[in-house]
Amino acid sequence: MAAQDTSKQVTRRRERLDRGIKVRSEDIYALNSWREALYLLAPRALPVVALVLLQLLAPEYWQRVLISTTVFALLAISWDLAASSGMVCLGQALFFGVGAYLAGIMNHYLGLPPGLTLPLATLGGGVICTVLLLPVLRLRGIYFAMFTLILPLMIERIIEATKVFGGTEGLSGLTPFAHPLWESFLTMAALWVALFGLRRIMASDYGLVLKGINDNDRAVMSAALNIYRYKAQALFLAAATGAFAGAFMTHSYRFVGMPVFALDYSILPIASAAVGGLGTLAGPALGAFILVPLSEMLRGLGGLRIVIYAVLLVVFTVGLPEGVFHYLRRKYTQFERWTEVGK
């Protein structure tokens, strides 16, 4: 706002300002008009409406794509939640695969319907993954990342070796969902619950502690907070989200097998987060909505798809660490203009 424009010789510079609404703190807004309310609501409501419309109007093939996009968005949210709490996971496939297998096992061996396997696999997957990772909760950064990278790959080999749960064949002929629309709306509902629910948690004082652990875990410990408890809780939330995604896919494909532990399910969430922007949960979800349909369009390229992912991953991580979401948000909440600066 400090534009001194009196002198003759004038240089110009870009100035970046916040838009009208005065933000007093994180959550208390002084809303003065419908326009301001709309300004705040629109970015939240628009995606919800758009997704519902797309789901209803798109051709059937793209409806399927939309469903798997939503599932990957859930995985990306799961990744971001763990990463925001100081646990960078290179093996999201672990959460996905454990959830997928749990649902498959309960359906195949116990004959439970999707209405039961989904919630049970979500909770059970959360618990199992948390317990599996408990020994490495003390590790940070790459140490944790390394362990999570090898865990799903090893589980894959173990299933192959022990031939449990159908071995390399997997379990097929599982119960499908009653109606395709069910599928669409279930994934969507899950996405919005996970996104808005977890975002709310991260914005609370509890979330502050999680972010604190990511930033500086020793300072959190010195504040008499048992970081391992908080990390385990965050891990449970992340794992449950990922396990739901896996359990859903099991019933959607009516099949579960070793590929659920494949690298794809680990890479895509990370790539989504890198493209969308870390640390907001919404960014990675947005990233998934960019990457998955893009990869569908690139289907003709076959194996080159993963190469393109990988390159995007590197380019965004190294060159554009901000990500799409932060960029859009900045454009939305701030505006830029040229001001003249007297010399």
Partner 1 sequence: MLQGTLIYGFINSVMLLLVALGFNLTFGISGVANFAFGALYITAGFLAWIGLNTLGLPYWLAGCAAVLITAVLAGLLYRFVVLRVRGLVVSEVIATFGVGLAILELFRFLGFIGFEYTLPEMLDLEVSLGGVIVDGQRLTILLVGAGLTLFLWLFTRHTRTGRAFRAIAQDEHTALTLGINTERVATVSVAFGAAYAAVAALVILPLGTIAVNEGYHVLVNALAVCIVGGLGSTLGVIVASFMIGFAQTFTATYLDTSWMMVVSLLAILVILLVRPSGLFGSQKQLEERI
Partner 2 sequence: MTEPAPQPPRDEIILAVEGLSKRFGGVTAVDDVSFNVKQGELLGVIGPNGSGKTTLVNLITGFLQPSTGRVSLKGQDITGGPPYRTAELGLARTFQMVKPFYQLPAFKNVVVALFSPRVKRLAGGAYGDRDAVAKDLLEEVGFERDSWVINKQASVLPHGYLKRLELARCLALRPEVLVLDELFSGLSLAEVASLVPVIEKLMVQGMTIIMVEHRLKELFRIADRVLVLNFGQKIAEGVPAEVMAQPKVRGAYLGSESED
Nearer to partner 2, 127 or 225 (CB): 225
Q: What angle do CA 332, 337, 343 make, to 5 degrees?
A: 150
Q: Which does 110 bind (CB under 5 to 8 A by kind): partner 1, partner 2, none?
A: none
**Cα distance between residue 229 and residue 249, in whole Å:** 30
Q: Which does 13 bind (CB under 5 to 8 A by kind): partner 2, partner 1, none?
A: none
Phi and psi at 342, nearest 5°, equal -70, 150
Is residue 164 close enough to count as binding partner 1 by CB under 8 A?
A: no
Is residue 294 close enough to count as binding partner 2 by CB under 8 A?
A: no
Nearer to partner 1, 38 or 304 (CB): 304
Tokens 């960014």 belong to residue: 283
Tokens 């031939």 belong to residue: 163
Q: Which does 127 bind (CB under 5 to 8 A by kind): partner 1, partner 2, none?
A: none
Query: Measured from the CB of residue 205, what is the shortest distance to partner 2 in angstroms?
Result: 5
Sequence-ordered alpha helix ranges (H) in the chain: 34-57, 60-84, 92-110, 114-133, 141-162, 180-203, 205-222, 227-253, 264-276, 282-297, 304-319, 323-333
Scanning 3-11, 29-37, 148-156, 239-247 for contacts with partner 1 by CB under 8 A, the matching segment is 148-156
Scanning 63-71, 211-219, 250-258, 265-273 for contacts with partner 2 by CB under 8 A, the matching segment is 211-219
**Cα distance between residue 18 and residue 334, in whole Å:** 4
Picking from 72, 109, 107, the residue whose alpha carbon sits closest to that of residue 93 is 72
Positions touching partner 2 (CB under 8 A) are 25, 205-206, 208-209, 211-212, 214-216, 218-227
Positions touching partner 1 (CB under 8 A) are 83, 88, 90, 135-136, 138-143, 145-147, 149-151, 153-154, 157-158, 160-162, 218, 263, 267, 270-271, 274, 302-304, 306-307, 309-311, 313-314, 317-319, 321
